[in-house]
Amino acid sequence: MPLVKPSRLRRGDRVAVVSQSWGGPGAHPARYALGRRALEEMFGLEVVEMPHALADPEWLARNPQARATDLETAFADPAVRAVIASIGGEDSVRVLPHLDIGAIARNPKIFLGYSDATSIHLACFKAGLSSFYGPTVMAGFAENGGMFDYCADSVRRTLFEAERIGTIEPNRGGWTAEFLDWADPSLNDRTRALNPSTGPRVLQGHGVARGPLLGGCADVLEMLKGTPWWPPLEAWRGAILFYETSEDAPGPASVLRWLRNFAAQGILQVLAGMLFARPGGDMPPERHADYDAAVVHALDEAGLVDLPVFAGLDFGHTDPIFTLPYGALAEIDCAAATLSIAESGVV
């Protein structure tokens, strides 16, 4: 069934910050403040923190129930128009058993985040709500030297405008995975070194593929397989899988093994296409082709040598990133090497 689209954002709207994973704001308050300022000054939003969003990271790690309560409170508050993840982490899967899916289903609104927020995205999917795979407060909105225009423009186009999103333009300004220590506020104005952007690569396939978007962070999807929040096979039928690896830089061999599980479940065989983001973490560009080979290998083993697949896209653990709406109809044009979203993300 089609997912419910939330209402679009407008300047002056109130948005709630949640720490559904790691307690990053408590660990690096200056970095969090940088992202909050971008939300307020660049987008004109009123930012409020849920009760435990700024809590000590160790306390948050011991209290997944509190994180679930913050999410439920943010969704239930009629004054809040969007819920934004402060940062990712590695254990939001522990929040899911405490989370009331009905609180999300009864109060459809924007949820935005990436990486470990994948767990919450699949909770939204289970609740029938379209959510948004995009920047977090501390990684995306906060950026050394200021938020990337490419990321900011995608947020405006996807969350603030109720028109068809259209073509996702390639990032021509360069990309980075350079790490600058968040604990050193003196680095806030130092821009990170950029690598040249080459645009998306067509790994295989012909013609045009269309289907709703479903996917997330590969590392986190592994934690969700076999749980009640894992989408059933029918949810994947005709979908376009978007897939990206984390800053932990799992190698091509891991990607191959993980995709073999997708094949064993029958998921790869029912997809309309696949989008693979630029590998995350400290991974030199010359290694990216090894990931391409792993994806193609997994598809070849499954007899899917004609499935349309793009690689090198900007929605993962390199910056800047664009924002993807779950369930929205996407189109892969292999001849033109273009990706487009054929509908709006919001109403």
Same domain, 226 and 154: no
In sequence order, what are the residues at sequence separation of 6 or more whose Cβ sits closer than 8 angstroms to the Cβ of residue 215? Answer: 133, 221, 240, 241, 242, 243, 244, 275
Asked if the structure places residue 172 within a domain, the reply is yes
| Same domain as 312, residue 288 | yes
- Domain stop point among 126, 145, 164: 164
Q: Indicate whether 185 and 148 sit together in one domain.
A: no
pLDDT at 185 (0 to 100): 86
**Based on the domain organization, do 159 and 171 belong to the same domain?**
no
Residue percentage of the chain with pLDDT more than 70:
100
Give SS3 for 81: strand
Q: What backbone torsions phi and psi does residue 275 show, to the nearest 5 degrees? A: -120, 125
Per-residue pLDDT tens for 80-100? 999 999 999 999 999 999 999
Average pLDDT, the chain: 97
Domain with 22, as residue range(s), is 14-164
**Inter-axis angle of helices 288-301 and 252-264, to 10 degrees?**
20
Q: What is the length of the chain?
A: 347
Note the pLDDT tens digit of each residue in 167-226: 999 999 999 999 999 999 899 899 999 999 989 999 999 999 999 999 999 999 999 999
346 in a domain, yes or no?
A: no
Same domain, 147 and 201: no
User: 160 with 190, same domain?
Assistant: no
Is the per-residue pLDDT at 1 higher than 70? no
User: Which one of 164, 192, 223 terminates a domain?
Assistant: 164
SS3 assignment, position 70: helix
pLDDT value of position 198: 87
How far apart CA 33 and CA 35 sit, in angstroms, is: 5
Q: Are residues 143 and 171 both part of a single domain?
A: no
CATH number at 76 reads 3.40.50.10740
Residue 209 domain-assigned (yes or no): yes
Considering the domain boundaries, does residue 242 fall inside one? yes
Same domain, 24 and 152: yes
Residues 160 and 269 in one domain: no
For residue 114, is pLDDT > 80?
Answer: yes
Amino acid found at 121: H
The residue out of 122, 140, 164 marking a domain boundary is 164
273-284 pLDDT, tens digit per residue, is 999 999 999 889
- Do residues 144 and 256 both lie within one domain? no
pLDDT digits over 231-263, tens only?
Answer: 999 999 999 999 999 999 999 999 999 999 999
The answer to whether residue 2 sits within a structural domain is no
Mean predicted confidence (pLDDT) in 109-123:
98
Shared-domain flag, residues 160 and 184: no
The one-character DSSP state at 195 is B
Residue 1 included in any domain = no
Give the per-residue pLDDT at 207.
Answer: 97
Does 174 share its domain with 293? yes
Give the CATH number of the domain where residue 335 resides.
3.50.30.60
Helix (H, G, I), strand (E, B) or coil at 287: helix
Neighbour count for residue 202 (Cβ, 10 Å): 18
What percent of the chain stands above pLDDT 90? Answer: 97
Is residue 217 domain-resident? yes
Residue 277 neighbours by CB under 8 Å, 6+ apart: 242, 243, 244, 245, 312, 313, 314, 315, 316, 317, 318
Does residue 9 lie within any of the structural domains?
A: no
Measured CA to CA in angstroms, residue 215 lies from 90, 203, 244 at distances of 17, 18, 9
Number of domains, the chain: 2
